[in-house]
Chains A and B, each alone.
Chain A
Amino acid sequence: MTTVEDRVLGRIRYASDAEMPDMLHLRLLRSPYPHALVESIDLSDLDPGIVTFTRDDIDDVEPRYGPWIEDQPLIALDRVRHVGDPVVAVAAPTERGAAEALDRIDVRYRPSPAVFDAAAAILDGAPRVHDAIATSDNFANFYSLRPDIEHNVAHRFRLRSGRGHDGFEQAEVTVEGTFTTPSAAHAPLEPHASLAWWADDRLHLVTGTQTPFNVRQALAKQFHLPEDRVTVIVAAMGGSFGGKMFTRLEPIVAAVARKAGRPVRAILTRSEEFVTLNRHPATFTIRLGARRDGRLVAKSIRALWDTGAYADSGPGVTEKGGYAAIGPYRIPHVTVESLCVYTNNPPNGAYRGYAATQAVWASERLMDRLADALGLDPLDLRLMNLLEDGDRFATGEVMHNVRFRECLESAAAAVDWRAGRRGKGLAVLLKGMTTPSRADASVEIDERGRVILRSATTDMGQRPNETQTLLAASAVGIDATLVEVAPNSTASTPFDMRTTSSRSTHMMSHAIASAATQLRAQIAQRLQVEPDLLTFDGDTVTAPGVRRYRLAELEGARGEGSFRTEGGLDPDDGQGIASSDWHQGAAAVQLTVDDETGVVGFDRVFTSTYAGRVVDPVGAALQTEGSMTMGLGTTLFEAIDFDGGLARNANLADYCIPSLLDVPALDYELLEDPASPPHGLGETALPPIPAAVGNALATLGADVADLPITPEAVLTALGRVTDRSPAGTEAR
């Protein structure tokens, strides 16, 4: 089990450190065109020692994969759909040899018309990104899709509650706005890395993934194997943030390893990261109507999500972002139309804040505009309309364990809101947790008397082992030093849906508790007492009238636990259970603007997050600060600069992530309720940050609708710059 010491001393091993004797190194030749027919591939100049894989090698394997829609080819088939789409895979004994081989391949393309903007892609006559698509039977896809492939729509999520649009008849004041969020890079410092090998017609992978069981299922299907012949060993990740999800490198690495008959490893270069998976650019147009006293009556939301050339998590993002933009408010009449749209940009998928970032940016900015129009304090407007326990959300589900008010009031107090609002901004969020969902775990006493916890929660730096060790120790009733987390492999670890959606601490707390109850029952049975009578002391256990047992004597005692949630939304009316448990949080900022430069200076950046019960205070703090830091990057400067589908800043010198000097003092509160189960904290402090900053800037006269809020954007909004192209630059 990796410790903090292992990480500090560099002893931890990531997927990119995995190696095997005789291993080949894989590189991908990628399309320079955003949309083109692949006319010919000439490999004749390659050395014979180079293993290649092209469309001609796809014989007895499934040609495509994808979690919701099987639209992504193992390697380019008839055409390429984005700059960076892989066309040829090469594998060589050295990384250098593989890189050099790429230069000896000649591919002829015939470029086709391409489309780079979701709004343009849905119009009649727009270039078609896919001619046909097939819905995936991966368990990632658990609800019906509503594609309209002639208009490049991969999925359409709709919601209607009350009288929908007709509800605006009751509105006395209506505001409307369009808000955009650009693409962003996950930029984990460790790039994607996977190692695959075959033995006895069994596939083995060491890979950095948040979704080992989705990957296992996808690869079993790809190679027509029973799932038990595919083993996914999950290595620690050097960051992920949603980027290392579902099948990415795994299919091609496995395919080339099979052809080569040798282990094959791939590690993406930094520039390849920018064409592999990014965050969905989104455009929200929202109309919001209220009575003059501030009571919300109607909201209509239209969202366009640019999912790029392949849908990946796009359908899920489209649904979650669609309802997240309703906000944590009582609104009698709501309509949502949220479209997942194919373009010829690189694929977009899950990204920390999963759709809530884009949705909250739009909906909470518009809330402040409504407050202005009504002449109300934005805090009062929100408090008046917040959902409370027992209220129905627009999905029809009854809200429970609701803490929005506490979060918002805590945030407002942190900036001394009532003392004056100039330079201050607030935002509140509601974010769903994947539902339906299932998590299993087991605990077992080994020959040393240690309790071995098996949990498929993946480690991307969020301290899952520390957190779940504490959960297991407290559930069994022993000291945490006696618990060890077993290596994470689909061959030996019980099923878990995946490590996403900030669900793992919550879901696993239930699964581990039920596994521990079973373990205690088995121990009690051996001691022939009732479980409640067990008393643990160090690595021993006893009960009244029973001798003291060393745990090692109880080797093999074990318990299995499973926790499931039920729900899901109808894709046509958005009714059902969106979330078994809600992520709830708020942010408040206090800032100033330098009128000369447009640079924002922060006096206070604060978030308040509902935590249920904090299990691991160290991890809770780090995840909250990490979310806030990423939120500030998204707010102030992070954006991939696409030009004709080409990422112009695909490196960490031109695409900046926050450094220590970019991050002001961060402050936060984790709202706890000792009677509640633990609640995940991996993302919640991120999505409210951009809107809080935007709302604060609006009080200073800079009403910005598009992220990121660069100094130039601030000066433009203040009316101090009219032409946004820098003086002296030539037109492109």
Chain B
Amino acid sequence: MRIAFRLNGADVAVDIPTDTFLLECLRDLGIRGCRLACGLGVCGACTAIVEGRAVATCLMLAAQAEGREVTTIEGLGPDEPLVQAFIDHNATQCGYCIPGFVLTAATLLEDGDWSDDALGHGLAGNLCRCGTYSNILAAVRAVRDGRADAAGPTPPPE
């Protein structure tokens, strides 16, 4: 089947078998920041943002991306505050899981509940076997704190 969607701001169209998962499709399109690790949607290494939501592309059929906006780490530049915060906080060891964390964190920071608890639970769907969690949390909190300062003394309500 032929599907078309927006990938990192550009229109793409591909011919794929109907049972192709989005991860396989993205990698065929040259995306390398989405990575297969568990294949069960539990580790987050394959995360992409689809229409504003972080999804496990190892579980989502490519056909479900038809007409949608898909963002991978390749769509975020080094100037992105979250990317810069991960770099500044050395929030990586091997790095295999890190794009997934960045993308998940990007969606969490759009959600409005910016408490430590909400961020912790929101990021718990991404696994880092190297154990980089404290630096990852520090990076995400730094961006949150920056935005909270910009938005005023309290996080915006829902």
Among A7, A17, A663, the residue within 8 A (CB) of B92 is: A7
Which among A323-331, A353-361, A437-445, A651-659 touches the partner chain?
A651-659
Q: B131 at the A/B interface (Cβ < 8 Å)?
A: yes
Q: Is A270's CB under 8 angstroms from B38's CB?
A: yes
CB-CB under 8 A from B98, the residues of chain A are: 7-8, 10
B102, B125, B127, most chain A CB atoms within 10 A: B127
Given known A-B contacts A189-B35, A189-B129, A659-B127, A4 and B87 have beta carbons under 8 A apart: yes
Q: B86 at the A/B interface (Cβ < 8 Å)?
A: yes
Q: Is B87's CB under 8 angstroms from A239's CB?
A: no
Q: Please, how many angstroms separate the alpha-carbon atoms of A11 and B32 in the complex?
A: 7
Q: A626 at the A/B interface (Cβ < 8 Å)?
A: yes
Q: A415 at the A/B interface (Cβ < 8 Å)?
A: no
Q: Is B92's CB under 8 angstroms from A14's CB?
A: no
Q: B40 at the A/B interface (Cβ < 8 Å)?
A: yes
Residue of A nearest to B27 (CB): A17
Q: B121 at the A/B interface (Cβ < 8 Å)?
A: yes
Q: A460 at the A/B interface (Cβ < 8 Å)?
A: yes
Please, could you name 11 A-B residue pairs with CB atoms under 8 Å apart, sorted by A?
A: A4-B87, A5-B78, A7-B98, A9-B99, A461-B130, A625-B133, A629-B133, A630-B129, A652-B43, A657-B129, A660-B126
**A interface residue numbers (CB < 8 A to B):** 4-14, 16-17, 96, 187-191, 236-239, 241, 267, 269-270, 460-463, 618, 622, 625-630, 651-653, 657-661, 663, 666
Residue of B nearest to A665 (CB): B134
Among B37, B86, B87, B134, the residue within 8 A (CB) of A652 is: B37
Residue of B nearest to A238 (CB): B96
**B interface residue numbers (CB < 8 A to A):** 17, 32-33, 35-40, 42-43, 45, 72-74, 76, 78, 83, 86-87, 90-99, 102, 120-121, 123-137
CB-CB under 8 A from A13, the residues of chain B are: 32
CB-CB under 8 A from A666, the residues of chain B are: 134
Residue of B nearest to A13 (CB): B32
Q: Please, how many angstroms separate the alpha-carbon atoms of A9 and B73 in the complex?
A: 6
Q: Please, how many angstroms separate the alpha-carbon atoms of A618 and B135 in the complex?
A: 10
Residue of A nearest to B24 (CB): A95
Q: Is B90's CB under 8 angstroms from A622's CB?
A: yes
Residue of B nearest to A237 (CB): B94
CB-CB under 8 A from A628, the residues of chain B are: 131
Given known A-B contacts A8-B83, A9-B33, A238-B94, A661 and B124 have beta carbons under 8 A apart: yes
Given known A-B contacts A9-B76, A663-B133, A657 and B96 have beta carbons under 8 A apart: no
Min distance, Cβ A187 to any Cβ of chain B, angstroms: 6
Q: Please, how many angstroms separate the alpha-carbon atoms of A241 and B128 in the complex?
A: 13
Q: Is A188's CB under 8 angstroms from B129's CB?
A: yes
Q: Is A8's CB under 8 angstroms from B95's CB?
A: yes
Q: Please, how many angstroms separate the alpha-carbon atoms of A241 and B96 in the complex?
A: 14
Given known A-B contacts A8-B102, A661-B121, A189 and B93 have beta carbons under 8 A apart: no
Min distance, Cβ A627 to any Cβ of chain B, angstroms: 8
B78, B87, B128, most chain A CB atoms within 10 A: B128
CB-CB under 8 A from B130, the residues of chain A are: 239, 461, 622, 626
| Contacts A14-B96, A461-B96, A626-B132 known; 19 new A-B pairs at CB < 8 A | A7-B95, A8-B99, A9-B33, A10-B32, A10-B73, A11-B32, A17-B32, A188-B94, A190-B35, A238-B95, A269-B39, A462-B93, A630-B129, A651-B38, A652-B38, A660-B120, A660-B128, A661-B121, A663-B133
Q: Is B93's CB under 8 angstroms from A622's CB?
A: yes
Given known A-B contacts A189-B37, A238-B35, A239-B130, A8 and B93 have beta carbons under 8 A apart: no
B76, B95, B128, B133, most chain A CB atoms within 10 A: B95
CB-CB under 8 A from B99, the residues of chain A are: 8-10
CB-CB under 8 A from B76, the residues of chain A are: 9
CB-CB under 8 A from B127, the residues of chain A are: 189, 652, 657-659
Residue of B nearest to A188 (CB): B129
Among A12, A14, A653, the residue within 8 A (CB) of B40 is: A653
